[in-house]
Structure 1
Amino acid sequence: MLGVIQYSLLTIFWAPLVGVGLYGAGLAIYRLFLSPLAKFPGPKLAALTRKYESYYEAVQNYEYLWKIKAMHEKYGPIIRINPHELHIDDNDFFDKLNSFQGKWEKDPYTAHQFANPGSLVGTIDHDLHRKRRAAVLPFFSKQKIYALEPVIQSTIDRLCDKMQFYQKTGQSLNLRNAFKCFAADVVAEYCFAESGGLIDKPDFAAENWVQHQQGLKSGLRARYFPQWYMPVVRGAPAWIRQTVDPAAKHFEIWHRDVEGPVGRMETRKNDEFYEKAGHRTIFHELINSPHLPPAEKETIRVIQEAGAMVGAGGESTSQVLTAFMYCLLANPQAMSKLREELRSVVPTADSPAPSLRQLEALPYLTGCVKEALRLRTGKIARHQRVPAGRSLYYKDWEIPAGTIVSMTPIFVHIDPEIFPNPHTFMPERWLNLNEAERQRLEHYFVPYSKGARQCAAITLANSELYMCIAAIVVRFDLELFETDEWDTEMAIDSHHHSPRLGSKGVQVFAKKSTF
């Protein structure tokens, strides 16, 4: 009897372990030898487990994109970078992977990382994404952004007023924080007719951005957990969230920042408030649209879309602005040429601000904008696409339907065969081109990606680059302080381009303009 009991206890103890072991062995055999992706080259450890990727992200400080680049040098232009995903490094394939033809779904691993399936960036299904994109795209037409110009300009004026405070006190200021406040205030004003007033916060809301970055990293870690992980963690009591992932509380703060404006928007039953705002407001019009089904106007869906729009709009644009200004300050000759050109539309530092159309017509400024976007694309993370219901072909390789396939835009931008001296800020490379040369460079210029899942807010982002940089170049002489290229290099892929750990950002002294 005792022997039976002992045998039963041993069975209860060992059976689950044996089962797990057999499952793990079977999964390993499948991934390495039987999977449709087993034929593709790449490290066997990457094919076996996503822990290979997560090691470079969590331990090696989000540097997997550079490991991927090294893997391509060893294994060729198409490689398997995790059990479910292929990566291609061939500039001429970018258009095919980022096409309007066919159905392209979202990688489920990155779609769930920020627990916002109601947003454009979190929408997996191609058809649903298309409908949601069609609803917001009209707000980013050229004409709509020209109409929004007074809002952008007034935010720039507030930013310059704050910078004058630093000029008078002689304190250094962190340009990255300043530009984050500017970009976030612009997009929030357009979304809700409430800017958030981040520019006016002490130290350019530095504490907010620390929390934002922590929340971003929490979301990035969620890529390596099941899809239910983030919703469960977000819905759990605070003490559980703190235990499981201390950074998750910052992610929660990030989402709460838009709950207030959305709630206030839904309680305003008439258009009086928005008429006083003096401009169209994205989410007021969306929730009152007769063309959208009720499910698309539910509060949780609106909050998720708003959170994604404000987060992405503030983060990506501010990173490019920061690097843009650093490149000008580190290249006095470029700064001198830009100032000389700007004098054609702004004779003195006290002259009225030029219009966006005037700025867009300036060749050298346009070259500067393109170089900033080429060198410091806001989102340097690889772009994943999933061909739905059909195989995809790369040269002689057949890629099975439903496979996650990715490319990395920054690899295109730093290819010396397309852009000689690719790491050098050279606005001149965009000037005096014949039509064939211009089309060739434009073809490989992909800061906002391409195709059905291209960034919807291109026109807004570009307008901020033109108007903000022009204003600061005219109104201030900036001097770098304890900052060099190390603080702006594309070292870390924390979804967006981020400086190295230990960097204090791009710090400057603001001095009276000698324009």
Structure 2
Amino acid sequence: MATNPENAPAFSQIIRNASLLQWAIVLLTFLIARWIARGIYRVQFHPLSKFPGPKYTAFTRIPHLSALFTGTFYRWVAKLHEEYGEVVRISPDELSFINPQAWNDAYGHGTKGTKGSRPTKHWVRYGKAVNNAPSILQAHDVDHRRMRSIFTSAFSDRALKEMEPVFLKYVDQLVSVIRTGLSKDPERKFDMVRLYNFTAFDVMGDLTYGESLDMLNNSEYAPWVSQVFGGMKGATRLGMVHFYPILRHIFKIVASPYINKKRLEHLQHSVDRVDRRLKKGISTEGGDLWDLVMKQPGGKGMSRAEMDSNSSLIMIAGTETSATATSGLTYLLLKNPDKLKKVTEELRSTFARSADMTMEAVAALPYLNLCVKEGLRLYPPVAGAMPRLTQADGAAICGEFVPPGTTLTVPQHATYTSERNFKDPLEYIPERWIPSNERYASDRKEALQPFSKGSRDCLGKNMAWHEMRLIMAKVLYNFDLTLCPESEAWSKQKAYLIWEKPPLMVQVKTYYPA
């Protein structure tokens, strides 16, 4: 039968389209078959197949990423540990541990005489500095040691004593802001999350840049700070592309220029403030972080770009930790009136007036310290985990050999709320930390490491402790607090690097007049 020449192009197009469809089907079939075959290998033959965990998390990392994306990872991993034990395979190449020994083996110096070397930070998961000058968080070992030696003295107890007037200034201002609000409206409700954030950022702005962000004065978040909070969820979700090389490559081409522009705009806030601070030089009175850094002989070993990166890091790490912890502690105390009464009585029987409270005096209060510690257990500032990676010779973790290229984590919230580590794990019981308390003698107290462990633990942990105690002491001494009904379920939160904290609404009554 003759073919109509006029129809020839259309017929050829149909053939070509059919061929393209067939090739697409073949490619899709191949990819599905490859995915299934790889999943079967992971479940049955992978070096991690000996570790407990559900088959679906060994087959694919999608459940893990889904939990991260939805901010429910800390609850998801806790359920897995409840079902499968102290070690769980939560992804094809990732293990989660809640045994306290994992802190030493994965983050500390390891256990002598065991096979393998100490795991390192999982560098890909920590990203790169936008100005190509890593902060102490991102720096590899040589640069990390150099930076840490410079900053160590700036975070020492002696240095904190020099900076005490700054802490007292803003914590007293917090008390004043509450008093002023009550004078205008005695029935006013206060969002303590906002107030604690304002205080922490004003303190750290003064210590880091020699200038306040004036958030307590303005009763508003500075635009820069709002950007930080808004970017945490996005950063967590965008970080997932690192698990897929093709997506990572596409993302690098398409989205990286825009993301890097935003990151540079954020960094510029630090650059401008560091500029102004360095121009002031070393103050004869001392009192902020850069005074103490610039006084150190090793300070010349830090480039200007590294100063910018580290100042930006310190502003976030040095604020979010204490503000989150004090928010959580306030909620826990208000949910446990007997504990609130006990710590309040300790404060009001110890000090004749608010002005007598110093960092040293408050640090000596036994029950307040127990309350803060228990608060860090139930509501740690970092709910998730800080990933480590085994090296070419693997590592021994909790007596088990873990093969090379394995990601290791100790999820904090899951570790601290597991009945394998703590009796009555979901109850707020500061008394469990009293050494002579036999009821909780079986608690594995060493499991609590809210500031991590080892050579890369948090440099500012002493500062955070002082700030948390001082804020809570001043607030509880001066005011009687009552949790508002709308915040009864405040602790049911999502977490994206940091907790996604809703308002913590509190009714406040003045106890001690100004």
Change (3 A) 1:482 1:6: same
Give me the whole-angstrom Cα distance separating, in 1, the residues matched to 2:441 and 2:155: 25
Shift of 1:467: 0.9
- Number of residue pairs aligned between Structure 1 and Structure 2: 488
Task: Give the letter aligned to residue 236 of structure 1.
Answer: P
Q: 1:106 aligns with which of 103, 115, 121?
A: 121
Asked if structure 1 preserves the Cα contact closer than 8 Å seen for 2:270 and 2:312, the reply is yes
Write out per-residue CA displacement over residues 189-226 of structure 1, whole angstroms, 9 at most, x where no aligned residue.
Answer: 22221221221123x42876654332111111122113
State the partner residue of 1:512: 510
The answer to whether 1:297 aligns with 2:303 is: yes
State the partner residue of 1:244: none
**TM-score normalised by L of structure 1:** 0.82
Asked if structure 2 preserves the Cα contact closer than 8 Å seen for 1:94 and 1:407, the reply is yes
State the partner residue of 1:177: 194
The answer to whether 1:188 aligns with 2:205 is: yes
Change (3 A) 1:39 1:340: closer
Which structure has the larger Rg? Answer: 2
Asked if structure 2 preserves the Cα contact closer than 8 Å seen for 1:180 and 1:315, the reply is yes
Shift of 1:380: 0.9
Task: Give the letter aligned to residue 512 of structure 1.
Answer: T
State the partner residue of 1:95: 104
Give me the whole-angstrom Cα distance separating, in 2, the residues matched to 1:485 and 1:189: 34
Asked if structure 2 preserves the Cα contact closer than 8 Å seen for 1:112 and 1:230, the reply is no
Matches within 5 A, 1:113-512: 118-123=134-139, 125-170=140-185, 171-202=188-219, 204-205=220-221, 211-226=227-242, 236-237=257-258, 254-266=266-278, 268=279, 271=281, 274-275=282-283, 278-282=286-290, 286=293, 291=298, 296-299=302-305, 301-348=306-353, 351-394=354-397, 397-416=400-419, 418-431=421-434, 433=436, 442-489=445-492, 491-499=493-501, 503=502, 505-512=503-510
Shift of 1:447: 1.6
Shift of 1:172: 1.7
Q: Percent identity?
A: 22
Asked if structure 2 preserves the Cα contact closer than 8 Å seen for 1:31 and 1:38, the reply is no
Shift of 1:404: 1.0
Give me the whole-angstrom Cα distance separating, in 1, the residues matched to 2:363 and 2:56: 49
Give me the whole-angstrom Cα distance separating, in 2, the residues matched to 1:116 and 1:176: 32
Question: Higher mean Cα deviation, 382-391 or 304-313?
Answer: 382-391
Q: Secondary structure at the match of 2:137?
A: coil
Consecutive unaligned residues of structure 1, counting only runs of 5 or more, are 242-247
**TM-score normalised by L of structure 2:** 0.82
Shift of 1:234: 7.7
State the partner residue of 2:87: 78
Write out per-residue CA displacement over residues 58-117 of structure 1, whole angstroms, 9 at most, x where no aligned residue.
Answer: 3xx311222222223444433322233211232343322221345442223430288587
Shift of 1:412: 2.8
Asked if structure 2 preserves the Cα contact closer than 8 Å seen for 1:116 and 1:122, the reply is no
Write out per-residue CA displacement over residues 266-312 of structure 1, whole angstroms, 9 at most, x where no aligned residue.
Answer: 5x1x62xx416641423x66578653676x4142x333222222112
Task: Give the letter aligned to residue 238 of structure 2.
Answer: A
State the partner residue of 1:64: 73
Give me the whole-angstrom Cα distance separating, in 1, the residues matched to 2:254 and 2:339: 49
More contact order relative to length (CA 8 Å, sep ≥ 6): 2
Q: Secondary structure at the match of 1:159?
A: helix
Asked if structure 2 preserves the Cα contact closer than 8 Å seen for 1:373 and 1:447, the reply is yes
